[in-house]
């Protein structure tokens, strides 16, 4: 279902079913994005609720928004940053991905988790070689399937710059992997 049409219809009608479609489609992506940025699960969940509540309550004032996905990613990131700044206790940011294990036998699950952990470590090690902006662009492009226009809106960059940044990041990762294989 086209998110633009769902958003437009939700703003016009205020239908709760349309709101739940938006939530179901975007909540996991936003949550994963927050985890990727290094925020705790608790902060990510709280920010997610805040952003969607604000969206629901302010829908009439948000009719000018044409790309709800890009808007929510940006609003979510800003909410996470605000929450982190206001937090009285210092938390160590954890840049590891959140794993959603598939139900299977215990042995298969353990094996998958070990394999996943090794891949995560390798991937995180590789991604640490990229700049913060390159990591974010690669994450948005390949983890959330965002196009270059959406990524550009999120990061305030021209879509061509985003495309070039993704290309350079992938090339850098390929060179690193090639060097490690030798």
> Which class would CATH give 1-97?
mainly alpha
| pLDDT tens-digit series, residues 87-143 | 754 444 444 444 444 444 555 666 677 777 777 777 778 878 888 888 889 888 888
pLDDT of residue 139: 87
Q: Domain coordinates of the chain in residue numbers?
A: 1-97
Instruction: Return d(Cα 61, Cα 59) in angstroms, integer.
Output: 5
pLDDT of residue 2: 76
Residue 149: CB atoms within 10 Å: 13
Q: What sign for the dihedral angle of Cα 170, 71, 45, 22?
A: negative
Instruction: Please report the DSSP string for the chain in residue order.
Output: --HHHHHHHHHHH--HHHHHHHHHHHHHHHHHHHHHTT--HHHHHHHHHHHHHHHHHTGGGGTT-S-HHHHHHHHHHHHHHHHHHH-SS------PPPP-PPP--HHHHHHHHHHHHHHHHHHHHHHTTS-HHHHHHHIIIIIS---HHHHHHHHT--HHHHHHHHHHHHHHHHHHHHHHH-
Q: Once rounded to an integer, what is the mean pLDDT over residues 4-25?
A: 85
Instruction: Return d(Cα 137, Cα 148) in angstroms, integer.
Output: 9
| pLDDT greater than 60 at residue 152 | yes
pLDDT band (50, 70, 90) for residue 159:
very high
Residue with the bigger pLDDT between 125 and 57: it is: 57
Q: Once rounded to an integer, what is the mean pLDDT over residues 68-75?
A: 87
- By the 8 A CB rule, do 22 and 68 touch? yes
Residue with the bigger pLDDT between 110 and 165: it is: 165
Instruction: Return d(Cα 150, Cα 9) in angstroms, integer.
Output: 21
| pLDDT greater than 80 at residue 74 | yes
């Amino acid at each position: 279902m086209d998110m633009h049409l769902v958003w437009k219809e939700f703003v016009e009608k205020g239908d709760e079913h349309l709101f739940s479609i938006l939530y179901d489609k975007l909540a996991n992506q936003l949550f994963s994005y927050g985890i990727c940025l290094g925020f705790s699960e608790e902060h990510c969940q709280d920010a997610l609720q805040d952003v969607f509540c604000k969206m629901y309550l302010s829908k009439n004032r948000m009719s000018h928004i044409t790309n709800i996905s890009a808007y929510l990613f940006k609003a979510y990131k800003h909410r996470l940053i605000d929450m982190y700044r206001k937090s009285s206790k210092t938390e160590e940011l954890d840049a590891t991905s959140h794993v959603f294990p598939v139900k299977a036998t215990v042995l298969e699950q353990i094996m998958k988790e070990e394999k996943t952990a090794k891949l995560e470590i390798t991937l995180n090690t590789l991604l640490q070689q990229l700049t913060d902006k390159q990591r974010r662009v690669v994450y948005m492009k390949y983890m959330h399937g965002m196009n270059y226009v959406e990524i550009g809106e999120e990061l305030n960059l021209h879509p061509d710059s985003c495309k070039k940044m993704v290309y350079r990041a992938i090339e850098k990762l390929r060179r690193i992997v090639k060097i490690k294989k030798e």
